[in-house]
Amino acid sequence: MKYISTRGNAPVLSFEEAMLTGLARDGGLYLPESIPQMSKADIAALEGVSYEEAAFRVMWPFLGGAFTEDEFRGIIERAYAGFAHDARAPLVQLGSGHFLLELFHGPTLAFKDFAMQLIGQLFEASLTRSGNRVCIVGATSGDTGSAAIEAFRGLEAVDVFILFPHGRVSEVQRRQMTTPSEDNVHALSVTGHFDDCQARVKDMFNDFAFRDAVGLAGVNSINWARVLAQVVYYFTSAVSVGAPHRSVSFTVPTGNFGDIFAGYIAKRMGLPIDRLVVATNQNDILHRCLSQGDYTPDGVIPSISPSMDIQVSSNFERALYYAYGEDGNAVGQLMDELKAGGFKVSQGALEALRESFDSGNCSEEETRATIARLWNGTGELLCPHSAVGVKVAEEHHAPGTPMITLATAHPAKFPDAVEEASGLRPPLPSHMADLYDRSERVTRVENDLTAIEDIIKDRTGH
């Protein structure tokens, strides 16, 4: 199994190389050169197996022999051992034919744990074998940083540095980053905004001397291994409601398009998915693009579902690649137009996208109303992101086809918004109840490249 770039101009890589590289050298994103198929019998055989076993069967064909079967089974076991629910991704029923896939039982209470925990173990296995060390550096507005720290804490071959904007993440998010006590974890509280943190990370990747000296690596949402980990729960949940003997639809609260793109891969592998519904908050560039064909960013408006506050949805490039008939040059051209302001999707490509995807948006008021209505009507307390999904799912639910909405975070991660909407302040789950008592360890640093690089060099002995 080889991996190719969406822009068609980068070296072809193995699974392991694509995972360690992240972004392709032509600026594109890596995709498998062909998509492995699961037959109806293969899918039916997933019924009743553990999440870990299903994960092995779904992901194995993509690895191209990067690990032995036993190694990969061990990686999966370790990745999901820290989840608080035996089913890992349990399904609850919200209404007639409408189900909620709870993806928030991982250690940091958001679906990003499914991918980060796996990638942590994949990196560790790969680096232990090669004898290399890497230094993971990332910027976060909250969820990604805590998931990365939780995934890499205590691993031998990795140091992890996370830059977050001082005073601008929630207390739960900050404590998740500052309370791990392992020496390889470094939380840096940077004077400034999220954009400043992200800009300094970019600067570090462009400082080649520094980059090579410390062995810089990234694990942002365009990493193929992260997308692959998310394909699994589309299979397990669809089988729970009757696939492959009936079709299923999904609605996905969407920002960077990574999670819903994993659903598209599941569909191309043979899972009978009818509709994939993109749910956006008031930052609805994807909804505008899928309904009108116009992809023009116009400024982020902060919302109560902050993990979906995006202007440029990086994984959408992967969907465009298939919509344009796997034409890397066409994709490269669109991305050039995007740099100059925006692009229009061709009629043919728009039709191709609409064969799989629908879309809808949800205002702040509708988000709060959905949290209150679901809490009163079903006893399910939704986080604001999941509420966006539920509202859009209800508008797209065709009778006769089960609808599964992805619940992307635990309500306790966004206690203020949830309390305002429902009147109930969601408590932390019991395995995290002492989060407020643990001692914090954090380094304050100015928004200054040299100061940040010096800390990283010092801590990693360079």
Ligand X SMILES: *Cc1c(COP(=O)(O)O)cnc(C)c1O
Residue 217 or 319: the one with the smaller Cβ distance to ligand X is 319
Query: 């509708």: which residue's tokens?
Result: 366
Residue 126 or 287: the one with the smaller Cβ distance to ligand X is 287
Residue 244 or 306: the one with the smaller Cβ distance to ligand X is 306
Q: How far is the CB of 234 from ligand X (least distance, A)?
A: 13
Pairing of strands 98-102, 91-95: antiparallel
Distance, CA of 325 to chain centre: 25
Q: Specify burial of residue 35 (Cβ count, 10 A radius: 0-12, 13-18, 19+).
A: middle
CA distance 416 to 425: 7
Q: How far is the CB of 416 from ligand X (least distance, A)?
A: 15
Reported as half-sphere exposure (CB side, CA atoms, 13 A), residue 329 has a value of 0
Q: How far is the CB of 329 from ligand X (least distance, A)?
A: 26
Q: How far is the CB of 174 from ligand X (least distance, A)?
A: 16
The closest residue (CB) to ligand X is: 256
Residue 157 or 266: the one with the smaller Cβ distance to ligand X is 266
Q: Specify burial of residue 396 (Cβ count, 10 A radius: 0-12, 13-18, 19+).
A: middle
Positions marked active-site: 112
Residue 46 or 362: the one with the smaller Cβ distance to ligand X is 362
Residue 135 or 374: the one with the smaller Cβ distance to ligand X is 374
- In the complex, the residues that contact ligand X under the rule CB under 6 A are 110, 112, 143, 221, 253-259, 307-308, 385, 408-409
Residue 144 or 189: the one with the smaller Cβ distance to ligand X is 144
Residue 94 or 110: the one with the smaller Cβ distance to ligand X is 110
Assign 3-class secondary structure to the chain: CCEEECCCCCCCECHHHHHHHCCCCCCCCEEECCCCCCCHHHHHCCCCCCHHHHHHHHHHHHCCCCCCHHHHHHHHHHHHCCCCCCCCCCEEEEECCEEEEECCCCCCCECHHHHHHHHHHHHHHHHHHHCCCEEEEEECCCHHHHHHHHHHCCCCCEEEEEEEECCCCCHHHHHHHHCCCCCCEEEEEECCCHHHHHHHHHHHHHCHHHHHHHCEECCCCCCHHHHHHHHHHHHHHHHHCCCCCCCEEEEEECCCCHHHHHHHHHHHHCCCEEEEEEEECCCCHHHHHHHHCEECCCCCCCCCCHHHCCCCCCCHHHHHHHHCCCCHHHHHHHHHHHHCCCEECCHHHHHHHHHHEEEEECCHHHHHHHHHHHHHHHCCCCCHHHHHHHHHHHHHCCCCCCEEEEECECHHHCHHHHHHHHCCCCCCCHHHCCCCCCCCCCEEECCCHHHHHHHHHHHHCC
Contact 323, 355 (CB under 8 A): no
